[in-house]
Amino acid sequence: MKRFHFIIIFNLFISEVCLAFENDSIDTSNSIIYEKVYLHIDRELFAPGDDIWFKSYLVSGINNKLISGYKNIYVQLISDSGKLITSRLLLSKNGTAMGDFQLPLEIDDGTYTIRAFTKYLENFGEKSLFHKKIGMSGSKNSMEITNDDADLKPVNIDVAFLPEGGTFVLNAINHIAFKAIDEKGKGFR
């Protein structure tokens, strides 16, 4: 009988311990331990005076779901030398926000970086921030174009049309390949 009572008390103790562990588990569905910012940019090559349109997404670093509520997102355009060209402050509502940069007309050609972050992300260093490289290329006048092409020599190109099976078939669908090579036998673009 003593053994029976001991088994019942032992089972009750084990079940209470198991229930306590289940209730102490961490619910990560709503907790934000780490967040990430992503920008969706309309293209990667711009000219002076263009608009850079973007949409930001603020997601949880654990489950990659949009973070509900309101939060500030800072977006900056930075030159290769590290100079801040322009910046925007966006209000993220339920994880998304939209914005744009109006590029100045006197901006230099080159590679620029768009950086996005929250104040919370700054605590984790530069690697935790969002970075995207974009190119800037202004228009050229006719004098610049002719000077660039002055050093090019004419190239003799040999073009061969190659029908599938070796012959063209009249009144039928033909698959035709072509081969374009230069004087040295190399492919030509």
In the predicted structure, residue 91 carries a pLDDT above the cut 70: yes
Q: Which stretch, 8-17, 23-32, 100-109, 164-173, has highest mean pLDDT?
A: 100-109
- Domains in the chain: ranges and CATH: 35-142 (2.60.40.1930), 153-189 (no CATH)
Residue-wise pLDDT for 12-29, tens only, equals 667 776 665 555 444 445
> What pLDDT sits at residue 145?
58
**Average confidence (pLDDT) over 178-188:** 83
Q: Which is it for the CA torsion 11, 17, 20, 25, positive or negative?
A: negative
Q: Which is it for the CA torsion 78, 82, 86, 87, positive or negative?
A: positive
> What pLDDT sits at residue 116?
96
- % of the chain beyond a pLDDT of 90: 43
Tokens 């926000």 belong to residue:
97
Strands 110-117 and 70-79: antiparallel
